[in-house]
Chains A and B, each alone.
Chain A
Amino acid sequence: MTRRYFIKILVSLFGLIFIANFSLIKRILFKKYTIAFKPDAYPGGLKSIDPKAVLLSTKWKG
């Protein structure tokens, strides 16, 4: 085996170990969510629903 091939194999091996470890690290470090939790409060300001404001938002009455 030439020195060049030996280096190639070594680099590939390191690459594989890195990828394997990365997904392992990801699994340990990250908590995965698809569905998020509901909030305790809204971060922006709140306004009450004014029915007139809603209906006036369109002149279209159907």
Chain B
Amino acid sequence: MLVQCELCPKGCIILPGHRGECRIRINLDGKLTAVTYGYPCSLHVDPVEKKPLFHFFPGSRILSLATVGCNLHCKFCQNWEISQADPENVEAFYLPPESLPKTASSYDCRLIAYTYTDPVAFYEYTLDSCRASKKAGIKNVLVTAGYLNTPPLKELYAFSDAANIDLKAYSDSFYQQICGGSLKPVLNALVLAKEMGVWLEVTNLIIPTLNDSDKDIQALCQWMKTNLGKDTPLHFSRFFPMYLMQNLPPTPSRTLEKAFQIAKSVGLDYVYIGNLSTKNGENTFCPNCRKKLIQRDRYVILENNLEKGQCPGCQTKIPGVWS
């Protein structure tokens, strides 16, 4: 019996014994089976700034996990060894959703991130883990490309506290040619997160020659401002040659600084530069009085002047989840 997976916009039709594009949803005897359910292959304790989330419990430890598999096939993937692998080739732990809150607490983590590959590919495991963790008072964070159909996404957002969604480019042809996806579902995922009250930060990896033109960056920032609001944090991230894109150089620092300036000129309040040490690219400033509120160096908080989520200088409320 053929099965059709309706989880993501790809809608894979899968022959018996075969798998969907994500490699982890397999037609076993006419039943669609999520073979990595309960079996993460990566489990780490990270700083929340690494996700990156800069306005969500700054300085916190976050238990981060992933299973094998991804429904996109980005040629620049930084975690391709697990995202583009078959589950039978990667060792995993057995960690059922109900054990996850206890595991997080044992590592002194009150946050859990579903990350590294894409939590929407191991959807059932993410959803059940989010349910169990929320019940235990632990916050759930999705680090995702947001390539999912709306009904399952709504269900997942209902149990999620924050998301960092990767907006890879504001271009459908980029998604088609470089990632094997399309732009529209990602834009829907971004807007839906905002509408459902999930704390949202956006990451854009800038890749030389592919999505680094002023026009591309301007369009992305303008769309963000119009649809997500000027107070949604945007992280420009530096590209390093990886996987199938080893022919391109790392993103020059001047490109990232230029992107930063464009985003600011469009009117976004919270813009950051990641994967590169810059003077102010990682710091949070008050959009009203320009006072430095949080000073960071990579993943370390050097100074946090926020008082109850407000600027101590002018009492402007800074959007985020601070404690």
Q: B30 interface residue, CB < 8 Å from A?
A: yes
Q: DSSP class of A's interface residues: helix, strand, loop or mixed?
A: loop
State which of A31, A36, A55 has its C-beta within 8 Å of the C-beta of B45. Answer: A55
Complex: how many Å from CA A29 to CA B43? 39
One digit per residue, 1 when the CB lies within 8 angstroms of any chain B CB and 0 when it does not, for chain A 9-36 equals: 0000000000000000010011111111
Complex: how many Å from CA A39 to CA B202? 33
One digit per residue, 1 when the CB lies within 8 angstroms of any chain A CB and 0 when it does not, for chain B 1-43 equals: 1111111000001000000000001001011111111110101
Contact check, B87 vs A33: say whether CB atoms are below 8 A apart. Answer: no
How many residues on B have C-beta within 8 angstroms of the other chain's C-beta atoms?
50
User: Assuming the A-B contacts A38-B33, A38-B38, A62-B47, are A33 and B6 also in contact, with contact meaning beta carbons closer than 8 angstroms in the complex?
Assistant: yes
Q: Which residues of B contact A57 (CB under 8 A)?
A: 43-45
Binding site for A on B (CB under 8 A): 1-7, 13, 25, 28, 30-39, 41, 43-47, 59-61, 68, 86-95, 103, 106-108, 123-124, 149, 151-152, 299
Q: List 20 A-B contacts (CB under 8 A).
A: A30-B3, A31-B3, A31-B30, A33-B4, A35-B123, A36-B25, A37-B28, A39-B34, A42-B38, A42-B39, A42-B94, A43-B86, A44-B39, A45-B91, A46-B39, A47-B93, A48-B93, A57-B45, A60-B299, A62-B59
